[in-house]
Amino acid sequence: MNGMASDHNTSSQEEYLPHYLQKEDPFASKLSREADIVAGFYLTAIGILSTLGNGYVIFMSSKRKKKLRPAEIMTVNLAVCDLGISVVGKPFSIISFFSHRWVFGWMGCRWYGWAGFFFGCGSLITMTAVSLDRYLKICHLSYGTWLKRHHAFICLAMIWAYATFWATVPFAGVGSYAPEPFGTSCTLDWWLAQASVAGQAFILSILFFCLLFPTAVIVFSYVKIILKVKSSTKEVAHYDTRIQNSHILEMKLTKVAMLICAGFLIAWIPYAVVSVWSAFGQPDSVPIQFSVVPTLLAKSAAMYNPIIYQVIDCKFACCRSGGLKTLQKKSSLKKSR
């Protein structure tokens, strides 16, 4: 009986055809023309805001590049990844939505899928590195003090190498990039898991190394930071002003990192859930109209980071100016006395 069941599973995997092989034209839009136009305008707005916001972060950081702290260098790298998604990827999908079909063929589909996966993986691994930097700075000061600028640049090289490896692996014949079920966008070929055991191994590897493991590191780091901050807030109050100001700056960077990670995960987790269900659930069980919503939400992730960074930065500047006025008042009182 077990042998018969395994033979049945093998035969079902061999017989399964993904959506892009079931029809002659896999790039024709499965949505209404009105829905494609709405999605096109939505992505246009997201692309413009993301390009301007991340470009502004990179420009302002370049003016003080020699003074950037390691965590700020990572934030700039995150802006580079988000700008790459906006400039390299979004024009393809915007044009295709307005054209009511994917107009760039299989070559453009593979390029678009690679670029989206490359920059998306780079963003997540950058946030993982930032969370580890915050964890060491806050929870293990003896290790955190030796993290310098050159360590940050070494980390950047490792991040880009990691993202390049996993984004390029599908071109080695292990996996592939394919059109989305709605036809006007492309992504990693999650449907390989329905076709073979090798496809399942590939998808599981991608899920673990490019989603689950980095997310676990991020969650672990910030949980430990929250616990540490609760226990050490009273201790910092007894230190001198210089140490308190350093602590405030570290907490400002930590808040930025936490909000950026939260925004990224909120935007991408629905897409990851739908993708996993497409890979390991019942074939073609995700409605096409439902699958487009997580995709559009994930594409908006590149817009949040500059907004978060500027809001926290302005709040910190207001607090800093308030503290400066207090110090000035104290000094004037001392002089009058």
Write the single-letter amino acid at 42. Y
Across 285-299, average pLDDT: 85
Does residue 43 surpass a pLDDT of 90?
A: yes
Across 121-144, average pLDDT: 84
Across 57-74, average pLDDT: 85
Q: How far is CA 334 from the centre of its chain?
A: 51
CA 325/CA 315 separation, integer angstroms: 15
Structure tokens at 75: 């934030």
The predicted structure's pLDDT at residue 255: 76
Which residue in 38, 27, 29, 43 sits closest to 107, CA to CA?
A: 27
Q: How confident is the model at residue 309 (pLDDT cuts 50, 70, 90)?
A: low
Question: Residues 74-116: pLDDT tens digits?
Answer: 888 999 999 999 998 899 999 999 999 999 999 999 999 999 9
The percent of residues above 90 in pLDDT, for the chain, comes to: 36
Does residue 324 surpass a pLDDT of 60?
A: no
The one-character DSSP state at 101 is B
Pairing of strands 186-188, 177-179: antiparallel
Does residue 328 surpass a pLDDT of 90?
A: no
Q: Put residue 100 in one of left, alpha, beta given phi > 0 → left and psi -120 to 50 → alpha.
A: left
Does residue 329 surpass a pLDDT of 60?
A: no
Does residue 163 surpass a pLDDT of 70?
A: yes
The predicted structure's pLDDT at residue 239: 53
CA 21/CA 185 separation, integer angstroms: 16
Handedness of CA 209, 215, 216, 221 (dihedral sign): positive
Neighbours of 301 (CB within 10 A): 23
Q: How confident is the model at residue 313 (pLDDT cuts 50, 70, 90)?
A: low
Across 5-27, average pLDDT: 62
Does residue 327 surpass a pLDDT of 80?
A: no
Across 276-299, average pLDDT: 84
Helix pair 70-84, 33-62: axis angle to 10 deg: 150
Across 109-130, average pLDDT: 93
CA 227/CA 205 separation, integer angstroms: 32
Across 238-264, average pLDDT: 68
The predicted structure's pLDDT at residue 312: 55
- Range in 16-20, 230-234, 292-296, 299-303 the model is least confident about: 230-234
The Cα angle at residue 129 between residues 85 and 137, in degrees rounded to 5? 140
284 versus 112: the higher-pLDDT residue is: 112
| CATH homologous superfamily of 33-318 | Rhodopsin 7-helix transmembrane proteins (1.20.1070.10)
Across 167-177, average pLDDT: 89
Per the CB < 8 A criterion, the answer to whether 260 and 218 are in contact is: no
